[in-house]
């Protein structure tokens, strides 16, 4: 009999404030998601924004932590 594994995807929830529009969105992501996954889900290109936690910028390869409140600052229109 073959081993059987159940892959459980636990989600993390993060609140994101988009500074240009002052809109706050609550996003659910898989537990191993990175900031770049968050940006993809919101439709932002990583080279057009700065993501901060409070006043601290966060690299796009950092993992998203549950119940974080992040801010997205658009620095370029992408066009």
Query: pLDDT class for 74, splitting at 50, 70, 90?
Result: very high
Task: Identify whether 1 is part of a domain.
Answer: no
Residue 18 has pLDDT above 90, yes or no: yes
CATH number at residue 60: 3.10.20.90
Mapped to the 3 state alphabet, what secondary structure does 24-44 carry?
EEEEEEECCCEHHHHHHHHCC
Residue pair 36/46 in contact (Cβ under 8 Å)? The answer is yes
Residues 6+ apart with CB under 8 A from 31: 9, 10, 11, 12, 66
Q: What is d(CA 72, CA 51) in angstroms, rounded to the nearest whole number?
A: 5
Confidence of residue 49 (pLDDT cuts 50, 70, 90): very high
The domain in which residue 49 lies consists of 11-74
6 pLDDT above the threshold of 60 = no
Compute the distance between CA of residue 76 and CA of residue 44 in angstroms, rounded to an integer. Answer: 10
The whole-model pTM stands at 0.80
């Amino acid at each position: 009999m073959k081993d059987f594994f159940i892959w459980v995807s636990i989600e993390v929830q993060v609140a994101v404030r988009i500074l240009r529009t002052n809109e706050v969105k609550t996003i659910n992501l898989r537990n191993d998601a990175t900031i770049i996954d968050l940006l993809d889900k919101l439709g932002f290109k990583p080279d057009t924004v700065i993501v901060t936690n409070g006043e601290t910028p966060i690299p796009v390869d950092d993992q998203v932590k549950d119940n974080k409140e992040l801010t997205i600052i658009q620095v370029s229109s992408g066009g």
